[in-house]
């Protein structure tokens, strides 16, 4: 397949121990375009106040190695940042 006509998703091998020994899991890593889409969707979610969705999307982009997504994810828990966005955090569970 010629490069540039279709992007493939990179895969990383992850090994972990389970009860029966070590198993290998192939985890799909988004390509740069997919990461940019995740970040853009997360920012849109923040704009409408959907922090649950935004955090999940930022986490996916962060797991793929996007530093800006990592910072945005951390900021979504920062009370100072949230107060600037006029978000009120409930301390009740």
pTM: 0.67
Tokens of 34: 């997919």
CA separation, residue 63 to residues 19, 33, 38, 56 (Å) = 26, 15, 11, 10
Q: What residue spans define the domains of the chain?
A: 31-84
Query: Would you report the helix, strand and coil content of the chain in percent, each value rounded to 5?
Result: 45, 20, 35
Q: What is the pLDDT of residues 32-54, one digit of tens each?
A: 999 999 999 999 999 999 999 99
d(CA 91, CA 84): 18
CB atoms within 10 A of CB 76: 20
Q: What is the pLDDT of residues 49-68, one digit of tens each?
A: 999 999 999 999 999 999 99
How would you classify residue 24: left for phi > 0, otherwise alpha for psi between -120 and 50, otherwise beta? beta
């Amino acid at each position: 397949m010629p490069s540039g006509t279709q992007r493939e998703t990179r895969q990383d091998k992850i090994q972990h121990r389970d009860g029966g020994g070590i198993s290998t899991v192939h985890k799909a890593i988004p390509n740069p375009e997919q990461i940019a889409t995740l970040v853009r969707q997360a920012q849109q979610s923040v704009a409408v106040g959907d922090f649950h969705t935004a955090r999940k999307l930022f986490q996916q982009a962060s797991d793929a190695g996007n530093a800006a997504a990592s910072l945005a994810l951390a900021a979504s828990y920062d009370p100072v940042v949230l107060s600037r966005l006029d978000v009120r955090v409930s301390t009740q569970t």
